[in-house]
Structure 1
Amino acid sequence: MSKVAKTTVLIMVLTIFSKVLGLVREQVLALSYGTGMYADVYVTAMKIPTILFTALGASIATSLIPVYSKVREEKGLDKSQKFLSNLINIVSIIALVMVVFGMIFTEPLVKVFAFGFEGEKLAITINFVRIILWAVIFIGLNNIITSYLQLNNNFKIPALTGIPYNIIVIISIIISIKTNVYVLIIGSLLALASQVLFQIPAVKKTGLKHSFKVDLKDEDVRYLIILVIPVLIGGGVEQINTLIDGSLASTFGDGVVSAFNYANKLYGFVSAIFVVSILSVVYPMMAKSLASEDEASFKLSIKKTMNIIIIFIIPICVGTMVLAQPIVRVLFERGKFNYSDTIMTANILIVYIIGILAFSLRNLVSKAFYSLHDTKTPMITGSIAIVFNIVLNFILSKYMGYIGLAIATTISAFIGLIISLICLRKKIGGFGMKNILITLIKSTVAACVMGVFTYISYNKLQVIFGAVLMHDVISLGGAIFVGVCIYSIAILLLKVDELDIVLGIVKKRLK
């Protein structure tokens, strides 16, 4: 198996472990707070620093990879490290300024994210936000450090940062139930700080010598800033969609905001394991191949990565749609999380999971544009998708309630993907779209066959084992096993491209 495949497998394994721990964290939160007022408050407060700076931090980190590669290639290691130190200092100052402004304008800020909150719910959210806003600094630093380590071929440490984070949050939830709810938000702040501290030893091993000098005239920093603004708009589409959905969801009463959160976490679990794991390895390589002017390798990596994402994501979409209710019930339905919460979360999940393919492929296309130092195109396509999402949100939520918000997000994601693919083909020429469409059709056919057998298997096993929790786990596990077997046989018979790479990954794990 190739080095790229081995690295991707390693990242997937580490990400699975981290994300499973993340699901445990959400289970503990659901058990302790359900979809009640405190759950809504906590989810909203956590979203504010995340959306405020994750989009900006991720945009800087995304632009950093091609710019740092270029500086190192053309000016040497010493200059590239000075550039990185300068960037860290500038980002820290920007983050601090954002914290100060957030402290001053906390209430209007909360209203943007949840204009349906009033009274005690609004007051507690404001207090939570004033505590968690300091996380903006840690989020910014974490994004830069992660990209820097990936550029130095260290993918393991960034993939492990979720472990200390999740452990600290879980402990905070448990302590908050027995003491004070504010322990929950303070613990979450410490958890975000732990992600930065966890990576510092690995950064030191690279030999990076940090300087506290700030040079706003640095031409490389200025070039990166020029790239960042369009990336922020284009790459922050998911964050903005989450903001819009969450803000409108707050008008539907208690529980809807946290139901969207639980569905989003399950969606994110799938995305992080397969899509983020693959892109974290592929993107730096795409940037490096263009830096060395290897266009053929660049196009091939786009085609192969798209096909691999399709092979993994399509069956997960179909399987999740078929088993959404039992998945949510097994994971969350206990304590203060009841049957009606399960139905609401499952309905949102079914719609959201359809859009994961569009978001995943568009993320790859955006990375391809960023590797080409073109940040304007993803900005334009992302802006179009956001406009569609806003318009559809208001129209569909009026007639379909909270589920209309999820449908609007999914439709706008596919609109954005189609426009992005058309623009990429105009930019670089053909990169195997016919081959990708064939893989998509074959994978969809195989997944639909799988879905039928999975649905039948689950219902048969339910009759045999009953609906008790442990029996439900067995029924769900059995149905998933049947689905995996049927899908594997189907794609083998259909001779799906890139299947040899996927089989190589599976064989490696079995060995």
Structure 2
Amino acid sequence: MSSIEKVTKGATSVTVAVFISRILGLLREQVLAYFFGAGKAMDAYVVGYRIPNLLRDLFAEGALAGAFVKVFTATTEKEGLERAFKKASILISNFLLILLIIVLIGFFLAPIIVSVIAPAFKTDSSKFALTVSLTRVMMPFLLFISLSAIFAGLLNSIGIFFLPALSSGFFNLSSILIGVFGYYLLLSYGYEPIFAMAFGVTLGGLLQALMQYPLLKKKGFTFRFKVDFTLPEFYEILRLIFPVIIGFSAVQINIFINTFFATSCGEGAVSWYSYAFRIMYVPLGLFGVGLSQALLPELTRNITQGNFSLARETYGRALIVSLSLSLPSALGLFLLSEEIVKILFERGAFKPEDTLWTSEILKIFSLALPFYGLSKATVPLFYALNRTGVPAAGSFLAVFINLLIILFTIKIFGIKGVALGTTGGLFAQCLFLLFLSFRYLGFPEKEFFLRSLLTFFISLIALSGVILFSKSFLFSPGLRLIFAIPLGAFVFIIICKFLGPKETYIFYKKLLRK
């Protein structure tokens, strides 16, 4: 099996698990859209959820989990699994205490934090107060989701992948069930029902962590709360997470900037932006995460062995695999944006006006999808080359370009200017990473690249024809999607298979087998 086949096989395995989680996440957004639409309560919820989520992305999904796994794996190799589990229990206790302090600070300083991240809400005292209260309800989510990420990392380290990958899907499912049940319960007692969704987030995070513990215990891990800040492994984790936090902070700054400006664009703008991003998050997370996770170990092996020509070939072909996923997804989202939003969200409190605004933002987001995919395929190369500062620099470039575009366009385009900033930032980041990757590793095979791009060009024209045909002759949005998506995908894959090379269709082939 070639390197790119190994990468693609690993990517499809992760994709299957992530797919379940993304679909359930989309279902959670549908529930929110049905009950709350894009009004005051939903705006307050989005901002309230974003505050602990900023820290969640920084700790649970990024620096802490990765560093914890690295130290745990090294300890297992040196001292055995039993000793590593004992140290892991102490390390978890240390970080739980630190995270508890952060949660308490966030709880008591919620009014100040909301004032900073959403100053426009202060013009409506009831909206501001609701956002503060929702922030306080959801702050413990940071603690629970960080614990879940650490548990998932421990399971990955001992060779268990499916349950941890599925756990975020369990979070989405449990938060939906708790939220819906709580909605009717709070409504019957005369309380603001959006609090049910907030409690669903917090309790869902707790359940996500708890569902993984029994399997860890079965493997020999027992958690006992015992703090010890003298443990050398604790300082090793701190050393590892610091540079990663610097890079991840750029992403959080971008989210802060977008939220800051979105809250000034009128009622509903924050919600439209959030709904559109959630739709894009399905292909964005679905394909980008799997390919990135599978590519890193393969590139690391190639470079560690000194086989830079194989690394260049693997990386170049991974870029084409990435484009084979992101280009048709981007085109479909752009041409079918209104139909997708209407089918997913337009019911209950979500009105046709909300559909129009959300679909316009989704069109702008869809343009960023190929660039995001290429960036996700490029970042593992720099980690394999031990040049972790390059992705961090790319993230800060994205922040600068994002802010610049927003400042120049927000007065003209409103919330769509914020979306343009997001897309422009991802575009600049992608070009920066690609330029340096070619400089460090050399440009991949030109003939292969040109042939692949020509195949994509022809395939995308055919895909456009299928979509435009469905829009012209089918008047029902549902029928358009049912007709255009499977037929368009079939036409795209068949043309890629006929024209080649195999990298233009290999992911779909392995995914269908899976």
Q: What is the TM-score of this pair, normalised by structure 1?
A: 0.88
| Alignment correspondent of 2:189 | none
Q: CA–CA distance in 2 between the matches of 1:436 and 1:135?
A: 47
Does the 8 Å CA contact 2:284/2:372 hold for their aligned counterparts? no
Change (3 A) 1:370 1:199: farther
Deviation, structure 1 residue 27: 1.2
- Match of residue 380, structure 2, among 348, 352, 367: 367
Identity %: 26
Secondary structure of the residue that 1:102 maps to in structure 2?
Answer: helix
Change (3 A) 1:246 1:85: same
Question: 1:446-466 CA deviation, whole Å, 9 max, x = no partner?
Answer: 45313421332222342xxx3
| Alignment correspondent of 1:12 | 15
| Alignment correspondent of 1:157 | 163
Q: CA–CA distance in 1 between the matches of 2:314 and 2:225?
A: 38
Q: CA–CA distance in 2 between the matches of 1:132 and 1:196?
A: 16
Secondary structure of the residue that 1:179 maps to in structure 2?
Answer: helix
Deviation, structure 1 residue 477: 1.3
Question: 1:31-68 CA deviation, whole Å, 9 max, x = no partner?
Answer: 11100111111111111111123223212223445555
| Alignment correspondent of 1:488 | 493
Change (3 A) 1:224 1:300: farther
Q: CA–CA distance in 2 between the matches of 1:210 and 1:289?
A: 38
Change (3 A) 1:475 1:54: same
Equivalent position amino acid for 1:460 in 2: S
Deviation, structure 1 residue 201: 2.4
- Greater shift in the superposed pair: 413-422 or 448-457: 448-457
Does the 8 Å CA contact 2:291/2:377 hold for their aligned counterparts? no
- Greater shift in the superposed pair: 286-295 or 203-212: 286-295
| Alignment correspondent of 1:88 | 92
| Alignment correspondent of 1:60 | 64
Change (3 A) 1:223 1:214: same
Change (3 A) 1:19 1:375: same
| Alignment correspondent of 2:29 | 26
Question: 1:389-429 CA deviation, whole Å, 9 max, x = no partner?
Answer: 122222221222111111111111121122223334445x2
| Alignment correspondent of 2:267 | 254
Does the 8 Å CA contact 2:140/2:202 hold for their aligned counterparts? yes
Equivalent position amino acid for 1:179 in 2: L
Q: CA–CA distance in 2 between the matches of 1:492 and 1:148?
A: 40
Do residues 107 (structure 1) and 119 (structure 2) align?
Answer: no
| Alignment correspondent of 2:246 | 233
Give matches, 1:306-345, under 5 Å.
Answer: 306-345=319-358
Equivalent position amino acid for 2:419 in 1: A
Does the 8 Å CA contact 2:365/2:423 hold for their aligned counterparts? yes
Change (3 A) 1:178 1:213: closer
- Match of residue 39, structure 2, among 36, 39, 48: 36
Q: CA–CA distance in 2 between the matches of 1:405 and 1:302?
A: 32
Change (3 A) 1:158 1:294: farther
Deviation, structure 1 residue 169: 2.1
| Alignment correspondent of 1:450 | 462
Q: CA–CA distance in 1 between the matches of 2:101 and 2:386?
A: 28
Do residues 128 (structure 1) and 131 (structure 2) align?
Answer: no
Secondary structure of the residue that 2:263 maps to in structure 1?
Answer: helix
Does the 8 Å CA contact 2:44/2:130 hold for their aligned counterparts? yes
| Alignment correspondent of 1:141 | 147
Q: CA–CA distance in 2 between the matches of 1:74 and 1:116?
A: 54
Give matches, 1:150-229, under 5 Å.
Answer: 150-180=156-186, 181=193, 182-208=195-221, 210=223, 212-229=225-242
Does the 8 Å CA contact 1:65/1:287 hold for their aligned counterparts? no
Q: CA–CA distance in 2 between the matches of 1:92 and 1:252?
A: 38
Does the 8 Å CA contact 1:60/1:228 hold for their aligned counterparts? yes
Change (3 A) 1:503 1:14: closer
Change (3 A) 1:213 1:376: farther
- Match of residue 395, structure 1, among 408, 428, 440: 408
Does the 8 Å CA contact 2:58/2:249 hold for their aligned counterparts? yes
Change (3 A) 1:391 1:3: closer
Q: CA–CA distance in 1 between the matches of 2:89 and 2:183?
A: 41
Do residues 379 (structure 1) and 383 (structure 2) align?
Answer: no
Secondary structure of the residue that 1:337 maps to in structure 2?
Answer: coil
Change (3 A) 1:174 1:315: same
Does the 8 Å CA contact 2:496/2:505 hold for their aligned counterparts? no
Question: 1:49-98 CA deviation, whole Å, 9 max, x = no partner?
Answer: 11123223212223445555555556665665456444423322221121
| Alignment correspondent of 1:50 | 53
Q: What is the TM-score of this pair, normalised by structure 2?
A: 0.88
| Alignment correspondent of 2:190 | none
Does the 8 Å CA contact 1:114/1:250 hold for their aligned counterparts? yes
Does the 8 Å CA contact 2:96/2:147 hold for their aligned counterparts? yes
Q: CA–CA distance in 2 between the matches of 1:101 and 1:389?
A: 29
Equivalent position amino acid for 1:96 in 2: L
Deviation, structure 1 residue 110: 1.1
Does the 8 Å CA contact 1:150/1:284 hold for their aligned counterparts? no
Question: 1:428-484 CA deviation, whole Å, 9 max, x = no partner?
Answer: x2373747853762364145313421332222342xxx33xxxx3122110112211
Give matches, 1:389-428, under 5 Å.
Answer: 389-427=402-440
Change (3 A) 1:287 1:78: farther
Tell me the number of residue pairs that the alignment of Structure 1 and Structure 2 aligns.
Answer: 501
Does the 8 Å CA contact 1:325/1:343 hold for their aligned counterparts? yes
Change (3 A) 1:71 1:481: same
Q: CA–CA distance in 2 between the matches of 1:285 and 1:30?
A: 41
Does the 8 Å CA contact 2:10/2:290 hold for their aligned counterparts? no
Question: 1:105-140 CA deviation, whole Å, 9 max, x = no partner?
Answer: 111111232221131000011111111101111122
Equivalent position amino acid for 2:94 in 1: I
Question: 1:7-30 CA deviation, whole Å, 9 max, x = no partner?
Answer: 533432232223222222211111
Change (3 A) 1:114 1:459: same
Do residues 430 (structure 1) and 442 (structure 2) align?
Answer: yes
Change (3 A) 1:461 1:480: farther
Q: CA–CA distance in 2 between the matches of 1:21 and 1:222?
A: 37
Equivalent position amino acid for 1:438 in 2: L
- Structure 1 residue ranges without an equivalent (≥5): none
Q: CA–CA distance in 1 between the matches of 2:263 and 2:294?
A: 37
Deviation, structure 1 residue 149: 2.5
Question: 1:181-212 CA deviation, whole Å, 9 max, x = no partner?
Answer: 22221122101111111221232344345565
Q: CA–CA distance in 1 between the matches of 2:19 and 2:321?
A: 17
Change (3 A) 1:203 1:300: farther
Change (3 A) 1:346 1:37: same
